[in-house]
Amino acid sequence: MASEGAWSAQSMQAMTTNMVGLKQAAESGSFAISQDGAQAYIKAIEDAQMQLAEVDLDILDLVNKPKLGTSPDGKSLSEYNLENVNGGAGTTGIIKAIDDLKAALEEARLAMQKAVENYREIDGSAAGTYQRY
């Protein structure tokens, strides 16, 4: 699995925000990229999607309340851990952050395809403005 910092809820929220911005730029036509240029981004997106699929297996271990004893501290820490997984006061929850990132990555992949279409349209219209002799 990737390092913890790479998949923190905060980093996933930041990536989600960036992916949404990418989608909006592509849909508005303000972002265009060649097919060759898009391939590296699409591969990175698909790699991240595969890594998140692997993370899903680890999440199964997190959704159960950890058994940390019956002491007040053990119970409190157990609740705190569960709150970080599912969300609660002061936290989005790692599961929601992962789900949001999955959706955003798919939107980013589609945005790259739209940006390639934008590039083709721009390239085609630019080619049409030159006269051939």
In a domain, 124, yes or no: no
| pLDDT greater than 50 at residue 42 | yes
Which own/partner contact pairs does 115-123 have at CB distance under 8 Å and 24+ positions apart?
115/25, 115/26, 115/31, 115/32, 115/33, 115/38, 116/32, 116/33, 116/34, 116/35, 116/38, 118/26, 118/29, 118/31, 118/32, 118/33, 119/32, 119/33, 119/34, 119/35, 121/32, 122/32
14-35 pLDDT tens trace: 878 888 788 888 888 888 888 8
Say what the pLDDT of residue 69 is.
82
In a domain, 29, yes or no: yes
| pLDDT greater than 50 at residue 13 | yes
Q: How many structural domains are present in the chain?
A: 1
Say what the pLDDT of residue 6 is.
56
In a domain, 52, yes or no: yes
| pLDDT greater than 50 at residue 3 | no
In a domain, 130, yes or no: no
Say what the pLDDT of residue 2 is.
42
| pLDDT greater than 70 at residue 111 | yes
| pLDDT greater than 80 at residue 10 | no
112, 34 Cβ separation under 8 angstroms: no
> Which residue range forms the structural domain that includes residue 30?
8-119
